[in-house]
Amino acid sequence: MTKPTISIVTPIYNEQECLPNFFKRVIPIMENIGLPFEIIAVNDGSKDKTPQILREQCQKDSRVKAINFSRNFGQQAAFLCGLKNCSGDCAILIDADLQDPPELFSSLIEKWKEGYEVVHGVRKVRKGESFFKKFTSSLFIKLLTKSSGLDIPPNSGEFKLYDRKVIDAICGLPERSRYLRVQVAWVGFRQTSIEFDRDERTAGETKFTLKKMLKTAEAGIVPYSPKVLKLSGKLGVVGCILSLLTFAVFTILAILKTALPLTAWLFPSIALATSIILISNGITDLYVGYLYEDVKARPIYIESEKINFWE
């Protein structure tokens, strides 16, 4: 078999209703594009007929490759496994429910051919998604951007094209906590976006329960930003300033002989004591933050290109 140029990577959890449609739509699109391709289907511990459907598809078509997880590890783990096992010069990440249209593959590939190493799919419209889903997802990206200090395109999900360099850089990151949207922003390289309208699921229900969404949000924000850790110290400093200001005002009032009950002094005293505790916590957190960066053991830099180096 010829080495694939394009790898399509898809995570699958209980998608028996969507899968037949997925292959029916994706394979002709890829055949039309005319470049050698493979489809890496990662079954994230599905309990329905997903494994059988995948086995049959693999038997019919050697370009389809499936990996089964021993249990449900989550969408992020499935995408990562797909990236680690793909052999294309680039990979396109796409959900199996086809909310992100495979018709856009050719536009993603065009941008890649222009020299971009990451092409983000950015959603203009999101059909069939509740206000709550849209609101929490946009709030989540804002929080991610703010807490990580990285440039994450708003309204983007995992629907993206990664060049081989990006795949290798992301797979090479040593940390155990994984969140692709942040990692791809962190590794850098030349990035661009294309806009599209997000469809409804072709079938079935969303696999992201509120509990899964909260867990994903935590996994995206906490490991990538010691900023959260620094919150208590910052609160302490603000509290300290406010209580000292209150003391100053009370002292002026006392000098001006405005009668203040003795209990009034209790408020700034308690606030000051609490703030001092928060600050000392904050100092410990500073050290934890540095330790944490060390434990992650990320590379200090990633090389994008080497010219005239002969190995």
**Residue 26 binds ligand UDP, judged by CB under 6 A:** no
User: What is the dihedral sign for C-alpha 139, 140, 141, 146?
Assistant: positive
Q: How far apart are the first and last CA of the chain?
A: 28
Instruction: Work out the number of other CB atoms within 10 angstroms of the CB of residue 10.
Output: 24
Scan residues 195-234 and list those touching ligand UDP (CB under 6 A). Answer: 206-208
Q: Which does 163 bind (CB under 5 to 8 A by kind): Mg ion, ligand UDP, none?
A: none
| Residues 269, 261: Cα–Cα separation, whole Å | 14
- The whole-angstrom separation of Cα 171 and Cα 116 is 19
- Name residue, tokens 């005319």: 34
Binding test (CB under 6 A) with ligand UDP, winner from 38, 97, 117, 285? 97
C-beta closer to ligand UDP: residue 17 or 168:
17
Binding mask 232-251 for Mg ion (x = CB under 5 A): --------------------
- Partner touching 72 among Mg ion, ligand UDP, none, CB below 5 to 8 Å by kind: ligand UDP
Kindly state the smallest distance separating residue 152's Cβ from ligand UDP, in Å: 16
Site membership for ligand UDP, residue 11 (CB under 6 A): yes
In sequence order, the 6+-apart residues with CB closer than 8 A to the CB of 66 are 40, 41, 42, 43, 51, 54, 55, 57, 58
d(C-alpha 68, C-alpha 253), whole Å: 73
Interactions with Mg ion, residue window 98-127 (CB under 5 A): 99
Can residue 239 be called a binding residue for ligand UDP (CB under 6 A)? no
Q: Which residues bind ligand UDP (CB under 6 A)?
A: 11-13, 15, 44, 72, 74-75, 78, 95-97, 99, 206-208
